[in-house]
Amino acid sequence: MKCNCELKGYLSYLVLWIISKKNMTGAEISKELEKRRGTKPSPGTIYPVLKELKDKGLITCDGNKAYSLTYKGKTELKQSCSFFCKMFYDIKDMFDCCK
């Protein structure tokens, strides 16, 4: 446990979430992550994640390299959201906490 802020492990979940809102290329996803995290993920971070999600059949990639969720990916994301929201059911208080 190096730094709580890093929240290791959220990344692939977040990538699914980001793609669910809009089909995006790797570069676009990286930019979106930069907005959220403050730092852009290294290519060695983002592309292996995309590859794994693809290998697991959760996302597909069209001719323009834009990634989108498969049906399986949508299902998986719903489950993850469900888990996430249960885990952080009191996140509203967290928003208040840092104000």
Nearest Cα neighbor of 50 from 41, 37, 40, 59 is 59
| Contacted entry of DNA, a second copy, none for residue 72, CB cut-off 5 to 8 Å set by kind | none
Instruction: Tell me which residues touch DNA (CB under 7 A).
Output: 1-4, 6-12, 25-28, 30, 39, 41-45, 47-51, 61, 65
Binding mask 23-42 for a second copy (x = CB under 8 A): -------------xxx----
In this complex, which beta carbon is closest to DNA, that of residue 44 or of residue 95?
Answer: 44
> Is 47 a residue that touches a second copy (CB under 8 A)?
no
Residues of the shown chain interacting with a second copy in the complex, contacts defined by CB under 8 A? 1, 4-14, 16-17, 20, 36-38, 49, 52, 76-89, 91, 94-95, 97-98
